[in-house]
Structure 1
Amino acid sequence: MWFLRFLCFVLILPFGFAENKKPHIIVIVADDMYGDEYGYDMRRNMTVDWSAQGKYSTDLFTSEAIKLIKEHDSNQPMFMYFAHLAPHSGNDDNPLQAPDEEIAKFGYIADPERRIYAAMVSLLDQSIGKVVTALREKHMLENSIILFMSDNGAQPEGIHANHGSNYPLRGVKNSPWEGGNRCVAAVWSPLIKKPQRVSNKLMHISDWLPTFYSAAGLNKTELGDIDGIDMWQAISEDAPGSRTEMLYNIDPVYSYASIRKGDWKYINGSTSKKNDGWKGSSGRSELYKYDEKSVLSSKVAVAVAGMITSKQIQEKYSNDQHKVNESASTFKFLDSNVISQIRKEATVNCGHPNIEEMQDKHICDPFVSPCLFNLKDDPCERINLAADKQSTMINLEMLLQQYKRGAVDPINVPADPLANPNLYNNTWVNWKDYEVTKKKISYKVLSPLAIGLISAACVAFLIVIVTLLAFTTKKAKSINGSIYNEYEQGNCEENIVDDDIKIKCNDQAFEHKEKLKTGSFKEPLKIIE
C-alpha cells in the first residue's frame, strides 16, 4: 500500500546456532486499523517523517529493514519487529493500492480488486525475500528463526473489505468463528530438529514470547506469571503441545464469549449475524496448477539454498569420508514433492453437509442459545452439538466463568474530538501532550446536522435572553417611577446606612445608591426582604 493504514508484522530474533552466539528470529504478521478521521502517521522514532510521504510503505519498510541488518554487529543478538502495512485494506476512498507495474503482472485475474490485492501480496512476498537475502549476505541466516504469521482472518466484505477469503472456515475477522481466529503460520530455522512438516497443535499468539525465550536458551521463569506457554519443543521436535485450552474472547460490550478446550469449542453470542456465515470463494480452478518450481526459485528459497549448500560443504570436510550424508544432515532442501505433500496436509477439508436437511437442534444461532462444535471432526463449525453433549457444555461454561472472574473490565472511553488530525497539520499525534486551547476545532469534526441543531439552539437561547432583559428593564422602570412619585409626595421614610440610601414606601423597603432628578433612580431599586 501507499503509506496509509495497513499492518503486517515481521519479527527477527537472533538465536545462537553456535555456543557463543545467540540466534535470530523473523516473524511476519498481518493486522488492521479502524477510524473515521484521516491523517498522516509516518514517524521515525517520535519525529514525523515527511520524507516518507507518497512512498509505497512495503518498499519503504523493506529498505529500512535491510539497512538495519547491514549495519548490525552479527556477533550480537538482534530482535527486529518488522511491521508491514500490506496487504491490509486502507481508507474507504481507496482501500486497495499497488504500483501499476505490479498490477499489470496479474491481468489474467478477472476481478480488478482481486488483481490489485494479488499485486499487494506479490510485493509483500518480494519484501520477505529481500530481507532473508540480507540475512544470508550478513551470515545471520544460519542463526535465525523466521516466523511468518497472520493475526486474524480475512474481511471479504463489510468495513475494510480486502476481498480475501477464509474458505472453507466460518466467519470473518472480528467474530468468534474459526474463519476470524484460526490463522496460518510458517516457521523456518536450522534449529528445528524435525523440519518439513505440518503441525495442528493448539497455539495462541501469547505463546510466542515464552517460545522464543526458550529457543534462545533463556530462563523462562524471568518472564513471571504470564498467559503464554512455551511451545518450542512442539515446534522443533514435534513434541506434544502443552496448550489444551484457549479463550477466544469475553466481550461485555457485544455480550458474547467463546472458549475452547481440547477439540471442543463453545460460542455464546457474536458480533453480528452478518459475520457468522461462510465467506469467500475457494480460489481454486482446474485451469490453474500450483507451480512448485516458482516457489523453489523465489528469493527466499534461493537464499536458503545458498546457506544450506555452504553448510553442507562444511559438513563434507568435517568427516573422514569427505561426503555429505543426506539423511543425517541437519540441512535439507525442499523439493516439489515435499511442497505438494505439505500443502495437502495443511488443507482444511470440511465436506459439504446439507444445512437444509440438518435437524433443527444441530443448527447454530448463537444469539438464541450457546453452540458447541467438535473442531477436530467439524473445523468449519457446521454441526451444533450443544443438545447432544450437555455435560461438555456445562464444563465449558464453568471454565468460561473462571476466566470471567479474572477478567479486567473494558476501559473504552468516548472519542475525543481534540484527537482529530485536522488540528495538528493533518497528522496523528499524542494529542493529550499538546496545548490545544488556542486552536479552533474544525467544523469537519461535526456533521452538518449537528452544526444546524447547535446553531438553532443558540439562536433560541439568545431570543429568550433578550426577551427576559427587556421585560426586567420595563418592570424596573415602572417600579422606579411609582416609588419616585410616592417619595416626592413625602409618603416614604428615608434612612442612610453605610452610605446606602434606604427608603420605605407602602410597607415595602427598597435601597438605592443615588436618586436622579429625572423622575427615576440611577439603578433599579433593590427590594429588601
Structure 2
Amino acid sequence: MSGLWLRLASLLVVFSSLLANPSRPAVSGTLPPSPTSSSSSTGRTGNGDHDIGKSERPNIIIILADDMGWNDVSFHGSNQIPTPNIDALAYNGVILNNHYVPALCTPSRSALMTGKYPIHTGMQHSVILEPEPRGLPLRERLLPQYLREAGYRTHAVGKWHLGYYRREYTPTYRGFDSHFGYWNGLQDYYSHQVEATYEGYRGFDMRRNMSVAWETAGKYSTDLFTEEAVRLIENHRVNEPMFMYLAHLAPHTGNQDNPFQAPDDEIAKFSHILDPERRIYAAMVSKLDQSVGEVVAALRRRGMLENSIVLFMSDNGAPTMGIHSNRGSNYPMRGIKDSPWEGAVRGVAAIWSPLIKKPRRVSNQLMYVADWLPTFYSAAGLDTKDLGNIDGVDMWSALVAEKTSPRSEIVINIDDIENYAAIRRGDFKYVIGTTNNGEEWYGETGRPGREDVEGSLPEYVPDLVLRSRAGIAISGVITASQLVELRKLREGKLAASEELGTRRLTTRLLTPMDILRLRSAAELKCNVKEEEKVSCNPLDSPCLFNVKEDPCEMINLAKTRPVILATLEEALMKYRVTAIPANNVDTDPMANPVYWNGTWVNWKDANPMEFMRSNRQSSGRISGPAIAAIAILLGLAIVVAILLFTLKFRRSSPEPARHTERGTFHKVQRDSLNLSEPVAADSQMSEISLSLQGFRELASLKDLARNID
C-alpha cells in the first residue's frame, strides 16, 4: 500500500498547488502579468540621466533575422518585398556577398557566439529541440562575456536557442546583463506559446531575464523586441559602450498550426503577391525592416550612431519548403535551409559604421559568421590574442579599408548523422551528401517575366531608401572617410575655405544613382545555358563547383578538375580529425510545460513539487473556495483508498490472489483516474510515471476550482 499512498500524495500535492495558484492562466485565455516581470535584472542597469561623456569603444549592434532568404531583401535585386531601412544600411555601408553561415539556427548562433565552427563545439547537427536537455557547452566563452569584461553593457533581445534546460545555459548566465525574449527556436507571434516540434507539448515562452513575462501575451513579437531595443538605447549611459544582440523571430514561422502571422494592415500592402502565404511572409519581413529603422533612429537620437557598428544578417537561408517552411526565397541560388548548398549557407549580410573608411561598396571578401567575434573584439581596440584557439579570423581591417580577406577557407559543415559535408577553399566548393529535397532550386524571383505565377511587381524606388528612418538617421552622420577629407580641408589641401569643404561633404550623401549602381552589383546572376549544365548527385559521389563563376551550383566540375577535388577532400578529412561528436541527446518528457505552470522552464533545476510549492508561496494565500475544493478531493481520495484496501483482502489464494490483486489494483486505479495506458506492476518508475500521468489528466480539473472562485 505504500506505493498507493505515495501516488495519491503526489497527485494531491501537485493538484493542490494548481488550485492554489490563481495566477496560472488558461492555455487559451488571456495571460495575467507576472508580479516580477518589470524587474528581476541579473546584471547592471544603465541610467541615461547620468551621462558623463561618449564611450571611446564603439557600440556594437547585431540585428539577426531568422530564416530570411537571400532574395528577400530588395538590395539583392528583387522588387517583390521592399526593405528600405535594411537597404539604407547596406548601401551606406558594405554589402557582404560572400558571408557564410551554418545551415540551421542553433549551429549558426553557436558559431556567432563562440567564434568556432559547430564541429568544434558539438553543435553541428540539427537544432536544440524544445524538450532536449542540452545547450551550448559551458566550457565555451561567448562574445558577450568577452565584451562585458572590456566594459560593455551587454543586452540580448529576442531568440536564444542555445539551451535552457538548466539556468546556467540561459543568456543572463552567459555574459548578457539583460535578456528579453524567448529561449526556444520559435513561438506564436501573439500568444508566445511554443509547441514542441515533435512531441506536441505546448507552453508559454517569453522572459524578462529569468521572470515569465505574462504581460506580453497578445502583442506582436517583432514590435515587442523593437520596443525593448529602443528602450535599452534610450536608457543607456553613453559614456559606456553597448553591445546589443537583437535576434528577431521574423521571418521564421510560428507554430505549425498557425505559421504565418502579421498585422492585417501590413499584409494589405502586399496584395500584388499571388501566393497568400508568401504575402504574409512579406508582411513579416516588412515589420522586420521597420524594426531596423526604429533601432537606427533611436541610436541617432541618443547620439550613439556616430560611434556604432550595426550588422544586419540572417542566421541561414530560407526554408522554402519542408518543416517550418516560410515561403522565403533563396533565388537564384540552389538549396534551402538545412542543406549544404549556397541557398542555405550564403547568408544575407550588410554592415554599416561611420568607422568604415571605404563604404558604399559590394564586398566579395570571403567571410564566415564565426569571424564576427574576433572582428568586433578588434574593432573595440582589444587584442585578439586574448581569444585563444578559435576558428574565426579578424576581418576588421579588411572591412574598414577594403583589403584582401585574411580568410581563404570555410568548413561549411560536417554532419555525420545526416551524412553530408561541405567545404569552400578559394573559389571552389566541395559537397558530399545532402538532405531531403535540399538540392533543388526554389523560391520566387521577384523579377519581371514571372507575373503570371508570382503577381505584379512594384517599381523599385530609391527615394524610399533615402527617406526611410534608417536612411535619414545615417545621412546625418559624418563618416570616417568624410572626416579624412575634412581634416585635409582644414589643412588647406582640398579647398580654400571650410564652407566650400562643407558643400563638398554634402554632395557625398547617398544618391539614387549610387543606390541603383550598388543594387546591380549586389545581384547574383547565373547566366548558365542549359547545354552547359553538368548534373551532380552528391549521394553517389562528391561534387565540385566554382562558386565565384557559378554561384548557383549548376556546373559540376568533379570530373574535369580532379586535382582540386582531391585537395578539398583531403582538407575536409583533416577537419574530420578535429571534430568532436555532436552533443544531441534524447528529449525529456519532464520538460512538458504541463508540469511547470504552463511555461517552458529550466526543468532540470527543480522538480514539479518544489516548483508548484514556490509558485503557490509567491502567488499569495490560498483562496477559501480553493481550500474547499482541495478538501473535497482529499475526501474522495480517502474513499478510493478504502475501496482499494478492501479489494486487496478479498482474495483467498495467496499466490494467485497476489497476481490478481495487483492486476485488479491497477485496473481500479486506472478506472478511478480515467487512465487509458497499462501500468507495469512491479516497476517503481512506472509508479512515478502513473502519478505524472494522473496529474496530467487531473490538471484539467483546475477549471473546477476556477469556477468555484
Q: Secondary structure at the match of 2:476?
A: helix
Q: Which amino acid aligns with 1:144?
A: S
Q: Which amino acid aligns with 2:470?
A: V
Residue in structure 2 matching 1:285, options 448, 453, 470: 448
Aligned to 2:247: 83
Moved more, 289-298 or 169-178: 289-298
**Do the aligned partners of 1:308 and 1:331 also contact (CA within 8 Å) in 2?**
no
Q: 1:294-342 CA deviation, whole Å, 9 max, x = no partner?
A: 1110000111123349x99x95996771325379859941111111111
Structure 2 vs 1, CA of residues 389 and 468 (structure 1 numbering), >3 Å: closer, same or farther?
A: farther
Q: TM-score scaled by structure 2?
A: 0.57
Question: C-alpha distance in 2, partners of 1:471/1:298?
Answer: 82
Residue in structure 2 matching 1:425, options 580, 597, 614: 597
What 5-or-longer segments of structure 1 have no aligned partner?
1-17, 441-465, 474-529
Aligned to 2:438: 275
C-alpha deviation, 1:410, in angstroms: 1.2
Residue in structure 1 matching 2:430, options 245, 254, 266: 266
Q: 1:443-486 CA deviation, whole Å, 9 max, x = no partner?
A: xxxxxxxxxxxxxxxxxxxxxxx99943999xxxxxxxxxxxxx
Q: Secondary structure at the match of 1:307?
A: coil
Matches within 5 A, 1:331-350: 332-350=508-526
Aligned to 2:291: 127
**Do the aligned partners of 2:542 and 2:558 also contact (CA within 8 Å) in 1?**
yes
C-alpha deviation, 1:417, in angstroms: 0.9
Aligned to 1:229: 393
Q: 1:1-28 CA deviation, whole Å, 9 max, x = no partner?
A: xxxxxxxxxxxxxxxxx99711112222
Structure 2 vs 1, CA of residues 199 and 328 (structure 1 numbering), >3 Å: closer, same or farther?
A: farther
**Do the aligned partners of 2:434 and 2:538 also contact (CA within 8 Å) in 1?**
yes
Report the count of equivalent residues.
425
Q: 1:468-518 CA deviation, whole Å, 9 max, x = no partner?
A: 943999xxxxxxxxxxxxxxxxxxxxxxxxxxxxxxxxxxxxxxxxxxxxx
Structure 2 vs 1, CA of residues 373 and 330 (structure 1 numbering), >3 Å: closer, same or farther?
A: farther
| Structure number having the greater helix percentage | 2
Residue in structure 1 matching 2:383, options 207, 216, 219: 219
Determine if the alignment matches structure 1 residue 470 to structure 2 residue 656.
yes
C-alpha deviation, 1:66, in angstroms: 1.1
Q: 1:122-141 CA deviation, whole Å, 9 max, x = no partner?
A: 11111111111111111111
Aligned to 2:415: 251
Matches within 5 A, 1:314-463: 321-325=497-501, 329=505, 332-354=508-530, 357=531, 362-436=534-608
Question: C-alpha distance in 2, partners of 1:438/1:60?
Answer: 32
Aligned to 1:503: none
**Do the aligned partners of 2:354 and 2:477 also contact (CA within 8 Å) in 1?**
no
Aligned to 2:356: 192
**Do the aligned partners of 1:308 and 1:333 also contact (CA within 8 Å) in 2?**
no
Q: Which amino acid aligns with 2:497?
A: Q
Structure 2 vs 1, CA of residues 28 and 20 (structure 1 numbering), >3 Å: closer, same or farther?
A: closer
Residue in structure 2 matching 1:305, options 467, 475, 478: 475
Aligned to 2:337: 173
Q: Which amino acid aligns with 2:374?
A: P
Q: 1:347-377 CA deviation, whole Å, 9 max, x = no partner?
A: 11112432xx568xx3200001111111111
**Do the aligned partners of 2:354 and 2:478 also contact (CA within 8 Å) in 1?**
no
**Do the aligned partners of 2:318 and 2:336 also contact (CA within 8 Å) in 1?**
yes
**Do the aligned partners of 1:24 and 1:79 also contact (CA within 8 Å) in 2?**
yes
Aligned to 2:406: 242
Q: Secondary structure at the match of 2:361?
A: coil
Structure 2 vs 1, CA of residues 156 and 326 (structure 1 numbering), >3 Å: closer, same or farther?
A: farther
Q: TM-score scaled by structure 1?
A: 0.75
Q: 1:90-129 CA deviation, whole Å, 9 max, x = no partner?
A: 1111111111122222223322222211211111111111
Q: 1:378-401 CA deviation, whole Å, 9 max, x = no partner?
A: 111111111111111111111111
**Do the aligned partners of 1:109 and 1:115 also contact (CA within 8 Å) in 2?**
yes
Aligned to 1:69: 233
Aligned to 1:23: 58
Matches within 5 A, 1:502-517: none
Question: C-alpha distance in 1, partners of 2:653/2:360?
Answer: 85
Q: Secondary structure at the match of 1:250?
A: strand
Question: C-alpha distance in 2, partners of 1:328/1:469?
Answer: 102
C-alpha deviation, 1:79, in angstroms: 0.8
Q: Which has the higher contact order (CA 8 A, sep 6+)?
A: 2
Alpha-carbon RMSD: 2.9
Determine if the alignment matches structure 1 residue 147 to structure 2 residue 311.
yes
Question: C-alpha distance in 1, partners of 2:524/2:438?
Answer: 20
C-alpha deviation, 1:174, in angstroms: 0.3
C-alpha deviation, 1:234, in angstroms: 1.6
Q: Which amino acid aligns with 2:656?
A: A
Q: 1:74-101 CA deviation, whole Å, 9 max, x = no partner?
A: 1111111112111111111111111112
**Do the aligned partners of 2:427 and 2:548 also contact (CA within 8 Å) in 1?**
yes
Aligned to 2:181: none
Question: C-alpha distance in 1, partners of 2:301/2:207?
Answer: 28
**Do the aligned partners of 2:596 and 2:611 also contact (CA within 8 Å) in 1?**
no
Question: C-alpha distance in 2, partners of 1:329/1:421?
Answer: 58
Q: Which amino acid aligns with 2:462?
A: E
